[in-house]
Structure 1
Amino acid sequence: MFWGDVDEQLAKLPAFLADTDPKLPVIRAIGEAFADVVAEFGPGKVPWVLTQYNIIGSLAELQASALSRFTAQADTLRFFAADRLKVSAEDALPRVISYTCIAAVIAAAQAWAGAGSDRGPLAPYVLRALAPLADGFENSK
């Protein structure tokens, strides 16, 4: 129940990644895909888990359920990054890219949720959070 909207949108991530321009650098592609994933979240639609987590009851339970979701998404990003970079998914670089991107998206979602009713859509927050990563990782290969 707490994750319903989030899970529904995250299920679309593989398709959005597959639809990105193959010439686009990996982090920029991930940014575009995540912007599509979160496109429906805005001031009128905020995932319940982002704003009501303090009344859920068991913070440890919520964190455990979040971690499993983040890990699954990181695996999706890891395989995408490895394929895009033509390296093994077991190499460090795709792992670093995937977990760093997940951290940036989480930070963006938290900042967006905390911005209150003037928050606007989530996608620009995500793109801003991923932009510095793109600048750094794009130069690492």
Structure 2
Amino acid sequence: MAQTPTAPRVGRPRRSSQQMLEDAAAELFLEQGYAATAIEQITQRAGVSRNTFFNYFGVKSDLLWIDLDRSIALLPAALAESPREAGAARLDALAAAVLAVAARHPADRVPWALSQADLMGTRAELEASALARLTAQTRAIEAFLEGWSGRARIRAVACVSVGAVAAGLAEWIDAGVRRDPLNAYIAAALLPALAGFREES
């Protein structure tokens, strides 16, 4: 006698260990502050092992960048696929790559460690852990601009670009629930910042 096929299980998909760690960290940082929260408390709240934590995060401060790191990681590939034109066209390609990456950032993924920095006590750690990320993006832009102009000018464009992106991101976070897509804020900061360099090209 043939068996009746088992009906597929209905319900919410199981959250991944990484998502559980992210949620647990956000809850604990809000409850007791970033500095007072240990990795062991996060893993206990998430119901996973300490080893599982280090499968996803190198250090506790990586939790502060979970939303942005996913988007930041896309920039080098976007630049690698962009045309290395001469003159001002190289700046156009740079802006297009940055804005394309920003456009891919999910509208509902507002970095909680930034938007709730005062409540969570994350501001000092964000400032300390930002340097490596900003430096990496500056170097990626410098590599893309290599051969476009002199070294000092390339470095200036890279630093200004990263600063403009940071300014646009801050405006996006501060805009609240009615905010526009992230790329709109970054365009508003980045395009005027690059305009002066375009005129000199």
Q: TM-score range by the shorter chain?
A: 0.7 to 0.9
Task: Give 1:74's aligned residue.
Answer: 138
Quickly say closer, same or farther: Cα 1:121–1:58, change in 2 above 3 A. Answer: closer
* RCO comparison, higher one (Cα < 8 Å, 6+): 1
Mean CA deviation greater in 44-53 or 4-13: 44-53
Cα deviation for residue 121 of structure 1 reads 0.5
Question: RMSD in angstroms over aligned alpha carbons?
Answer: 1.9
Task: Give 2:195's aligned residue.
Answer: 135
Cα deviation for residue 39 of structure 1 reads 1.9
Cα deviation for residue 118 of structure 1 reads 1.1
Structure 2: how far apart are the matches of 1:41 and 1:47? 11
Task: Give 2:118's aligned residue.
Answer: 54
Task: Give 1:102's aligned residue.
Answer: 162
Answering whether residue 184 of structure 2 is matched by residue 120 of structure 1, we say no
Cα deviation for residue 58 of structure 1 reads 4.7
| 2:171 corresponds to which of 111, 129, 136 | 111
List 4+ stretches of structure 1 deviating above 4 A: none
Structure 2: how far apart are the matches of 1:112 and 1:38? 11
Structure 1: how far apart are the matches of 2:122 and 2:193? 33
Larger Rg: 2
Paired residue type of 1:33: A
Task: Give 1:21's aligned residue.
Answer: 83
Structure 1: how far apart are the matches of 2:107 and 2:74? 21
Q: TM-score, normalised by structure 1?
A: 0.85
Cα deviation for residue 26 of structure 1 reads 2.7
Identity of aligned residues (%): 35
Structure 1: how far apart are the matches of 2:112 and 2:141? 25
Whether the 8 Å CA contact 2:157–2:194 is kept in 1: the answer is: no
Structure 1 unaligned segments of length 5 or more: list them.
Answer: none
Task: Give 1:36's aligned residue.
Answer: 100
Whether the 8 Å CA contact 2:164–2:190 is kept in 1: the answer is: yes
